[in-house]
Amino acid sequence: MKSYDLLVIGGDAAGMSAASQARRINEKMTIGVFDRGKHVSYAACGMPYYIAGEIKDHSSLIAIDRDEFIEKRNIDIHNDAEATAIDFGKKTVAIESPEGIKEYGYGKLVIATGARALRPPITGVDSGNIFLLRNLSQGMAIRDYIERTKPAQGLIIGGGFIGLEMAEAFKTLGIGATLLEKMDSVAMTMSDEIRTIILKKLLENDVNVITGVNIEKIEKSGAGHAVITDRGKFTADFIIVSTGIRTNTDFLKNTELSMTERGAIIVNEKSETNIPGVFAAGDCATVKHLVTGKDTYMPLGSTANKQGRVAGLQAAGVKSEVFPGIVGSQFVKVFDLEVGKTGLNGRDAELEGMEAVSTSTVWKSRAGYCPRAQKIFVSITADSKTSVVIGGEVAGTDGAALRMNVIATAITAGMKVSELAYLDLGYAPPFSPVWDPVNATAQKMVKR
């Protein structure tokens, strides 16, 4: 039986970060990565822009080439190789590939199997031109379909971030876009104000958004589909389903590995699981939320890379490397609108049983007399008792999104609103007004 000092299951953001970091630290250890898909180390986050044609070739989405891992980094890469079972006692992994099932031994193990897109239980959702978008093969299938058939009308089921990015991709390609969302609005993690701004942007760009809709079934209609709902019938040549994800951890059920009810592997700040020598990272794992102090499931590429890196370094013996956790920072682009959220908004805080106050402003992105100055919406949320900043949201153009990073830093540092109000942020008319929008929003909250 072949054995690796470090065996990694899953070869995308978390898995390849782990393998690369372990190799960086230890030239001698044997490292093997097993992925059930056709690609490794691809930027899933770039797929909407690849489908829109802004990124010409899928190879641009591959961060590091497979051959480079094998030849330059001396990491064995096995594609079409699915882990189907782990024996944590014997330290072996069963791998199913076109050649059959084979067992591999390991010294240290990193589980980085990520998540898969879900198909909701709707009659007809798994036939014809109905696509999921999660891995590179799925992204390539969508782009291939669009290039081959030149569809006139597309439909998206699900108004989360991926649904929003795909609506923009459709319009970039001149394809009519209908977006169906079961909830009362899109981008449900955001506050009401941000959701209103996003909806306005979608309507301005001629996206037919229908919220609060229940889909009854999907039928064939000519070469395309008819989606039958309680709000009428919507036809399209093709459909993208983006209604959520599920961790790829089914094969670990009924093992001694600790997981949440929804199948996320519970890890600590060293990416360690409850089993010694076994690490987990990325979209298959939990992460500590630094505001609530709870283990949470917030699958994002930013976290996958960091957790994977720590898993690899820990597995290679660098015990000092830790990833303390997240504050939940996230961006989405909706046409020219940049949106960001970090920490908790008022509704999140309420759900957490925290007393919080939120204040928002609409401020200028640059000095008001600069011709390119644009309006930016900024909202800050603070703990009512301590005045410590616990969240922020931004929306606008002209560099709006990156302003959120200041608030993320303030949350992480435990800053009070009064400190954020006078934080020494840079000023020059082409970059910012003399009071940066984040300073100005914090000032307004202090006055309140």
Chain residues binding ligand FAD by CB under 6 A are 9-15, 34-37, 44-45, 47-48, 82-83, 112-115, 133-135, 162, 248, 251, 282-283, 299-302, 304
- As given in the structure block, the two tokens for residue 335 are 């046409």
DSSP state of 330: E
Q: CA of 303: how far to CAs of 189, 201, 272, 326, 351, in Å?
A: 18, 28, 15, 8, 23
Residue closer to ligand FAD by CB (options 100, 430) is 100
CB 76 within 8 A of CB 23: no
CB 68 within 8 A of CB 56: no
Report CA torsion sign: 39, 45, 46, 47: positive
Shortest Å distance, C-beta 9 to ligand FAD: 5
CA distance 214 to 339: 27
CB 378 within 8 A of CB 359: no
DSSP state of 257: -
Shortest Å distance, C-beta 392 to ligand FAD: 17
Rg from Cα positions in the chain: 23
CB 143 within 8 A of CB 314: no
Shortest Å distance, C-beta 316 to ligand FAD: 18
Active site residue 284: no
Residue closer to ligand FAD by CB (options 285, 440) is 285
Per DSSP, the residues of 17-47 read HHHHHHHHH-SSS-EEEE-SSS-SSB-GGGH
- As given in the structure block, the two tokens for residue 187 are 């981008």
Shortest Å distance, C-beta 25 to ligand FAD: 20
Shortest Å distance, C-beta 203 to ligand FAD: 23
Shortest Å distance, C-beta 39 to ligand FAD: 7
Q: Which of 45, 62, 266, 322 is the catalytic position? A: 45
Nearest by Cα to 273 from 283, 289, 263, 286: 286
Instruction: Kindly tell me the burial class for residue 6, based on how many C-beta atoms sit within 10 Å of its own C-beta (0-12, 13-18, 19 or more).
Output: buried
Residues that are catalytic: 45
